[in-house]
Structure 1
């Protein structure tokens, strides 16, 4: 009887998870369609439909296919990438406050991108595909530093130590970036300042193509490791008892999370809190099992970023509010709420 009841509960949770995923997918489609209509030059829903089917004017084609669609697609991709990256970091560290932005991963990626931009024109074609690689190098070096400082041989990876180390490293990198900004020309200074605020600056199809392979490869890999993350959440001793190679799996998952965060930061700038909010909202919706938690986090992150980007483009027309600022308006109070509830 107990086995039957447990099976029934699991089926209900699975059905609830599928329902949540379906609703989130529908909301993303709705936000996608609304975002195509929004902007300084308004396109009615019928104009959008006609343009999508090839019946639009040259001006409508330019607005929709060259300006809006690439930005919307990038918003969806970086939302999914940052949210899943945060979910992985929270899972392997068992720290509810872990996030690629808070832990300094985004700052490390941003520092490398900023160094490259300082010496090359931002409009050059080649750096578009090179930027994610450079961001990965910066983020990887930062993650290695944080991991080595937070890891203790006999105690493992301490969640509190990881968080404090990440905050300290992020502060140091941010200070270095500010010093470097003072040496930039006015044009590059303006670009970097906007980039650091979290403006989605990669708004053409080249940036979509540079980001897409990273998302397509790393997201399925992380989803494949969902059962391993469930085991790691039981604690190091329990995971070892179940036969898991804790250090090796943590390193693999951390590498995937760093790759996701770095590639997203390369085209989106310093958008924070997505990796924090997405997994927490997903956990409230579908529970802690990563088979559902990871894809739900991806959808929540995509919905959050595409909504924030649409609002940022709409509120102060013809000017724009960087997407990172809109996300921070939502994320900062939520972070303080989580920090107040944390017992560590």
Structure 2
């Protein structure tokens, strides 16, 4: 039974996060290479703006911010699931190589397969999922011991090894490709939000609409998987089946996100930790908060990065890494 005080605290934090997201979106709509006056935002949203105002807002700013928000949510939820099923606070889809697997699949698809503009947007999450799934299965196999089960520390080490190997494979692919396609892959690796148009929103939204409720439905199972395996088995949990289902969920969320945002790490690491620090380790409590924190962190990183220097700005992946890498080192030393 969850205490009423914790539920009340959760609702307050959720309201604060929704307010922060709303403020960040309003600020992001006004600032940029082509600035918009804040007193013109509401008329433009209501369809009373000039052609330039409507073009900047509806074709450039809003889709990019919505994509960033949704991708941050997906990465945060993926990280929360991975940390739960592996019982390892350092698990993150970017750190343990799942994002790299998705990236290699996207690179191979982009470089060597004929691309049709109409289906490209919707195929990308599926291609990324296939690459991420193969990588996750290999990591799982190499981390699993018949006697000891899944070994959390070994999983992170194996995942980091796969991530490095796949990064090397990406460099090999880049070296054999033509210049125009290389530019795209390089931006993807840096975590540049490239999928900034409305079709990309419709491509990623169904994944979140399905898997956020599904994960909340499985929250009790995640709580039990966070305990020792004998305890989980003792209360009737089919550990391996639940772990595989939830891992597939985490892989699907991460691959859908990185297919449109590029190789972004650390969101899935930081957001669940911040949420747990606020409301405790119960998945029913911290997962909704982690999802909003992840969305807000990536939205903030992209908004700051694209306005920091020049017209191109700094990729969101680099901005997140500037914060996330020291945090990862702190957790590594602590654990």
TM-score (structure 1 length as normaliser): 0.95
| Native 8 Å contact 1:71 1:202 kept in 2 | yes
Task: Give the C-alpha shift of residue 121 in structure 1.
Answer: 7.1
TM-score (structure 2 length as normaliser): 0.98
Task: Give the C-alpha shift of residue 219 in structure 1.
Answer: 1.3
| DSSP-derived class of the 1:97 partner | coil
Within 5 A, what are the aligned runs for 1:269-280? 269-280=262-273
Q: 1:123 to 1:272 in 2, by over 3 A?
A: farther
**1:30 pairs with 18, 23, 31, which one?**
23
Q: Is 2:158 the counterpart of 1:175?
A: no
**1:49 pairs with 34, 42, 46, which one?**
42
Q: 1:44 to 1:120 in 2, by over 3 A?
A: farther
- 1:182-233, CA deviations, whole angstroms, 9 ceiling, x for partnerless residues? 0111111111111100001001001111111111111111111111111111
Q: Is 2:327 the counterpart of 1:337?
A: no
- 1:117-152, CA deviations, whole angstroms, 9 ceiling, x for partnerless residues? 113577833211100000000000000000011111
Within 5 A, what are the aligned runs for 1:304-315? 304-315=297-308
Which stretch has the larger CA shift, 196-205 or 9-18?
A: 9-18
| DSSP-derived class of the 2:194 partner | coil
Which stretch has the larger CA shift, 68-77 or 114-123?
A: 114-123
| Native 8 Å contact 1:111 1:177 kept in 2 | yes
CA distance in 2, matches of 1:64, 1:133: 29
Task: Give the C-alpha shift of residue 98 in structure 1.
Answer: 0.3
Q: Is 2:125 the counterpart of 1:128?
A: no
- 1:61-107, CA deviations, whole angstroms, 9 ceiling, x for partnerless residues? 11000111110000110000000000000000000000000110000
Within 5 A, what are the aligned runs for 1:196-235? 196-235=189-228
Q: Could you say which residue in structure 2 is the equivalent of 1:4?
A: none
CA distance in 2, matches of 1:67, 1:122: 23
| Native 8 Å contact 1:20 1:286 kept in 2 | no
Q: Is 2:306 the counterpart of 1:317?
A: no
Q: Which structure 1 segments of 5+ residues have no match?
A: 1-6
- 4+ runs of 1 displaced by more than 3 Å? 120-123
| DSSP-derived class of the 1:125 partner | helix
| Native 8 Å contact 1:198 1:271 kept in 2 | yes
**2:80 pairs with 81, 87, 96, which one?**
87
Q: Could you say which residue in structure 1 is the equivalent of 2:143?
A: 150
CA distance in 1, matches of 2:310, 2:42: 24
| Native 8 Å contact 1:139 1:258 kept in 2 | yes
CA distance in 2, matches of 1:283, 1:223: 15
**2:253 pairs with 252, 256, 260, which one?**
260
CA distance in 1, matches of 2:301, 2:267: 11
Task: Give the C-alpha shift of residue 33 in structure 1.
Answer: 1.0
Task: Give the C-alpha shift of residue 319 in structure 1.
Answer: 2.5
CA distance in 1, matches of 2:197, 2:116: 12
CA distance in 1, matches of 2:208, 2:113: 26
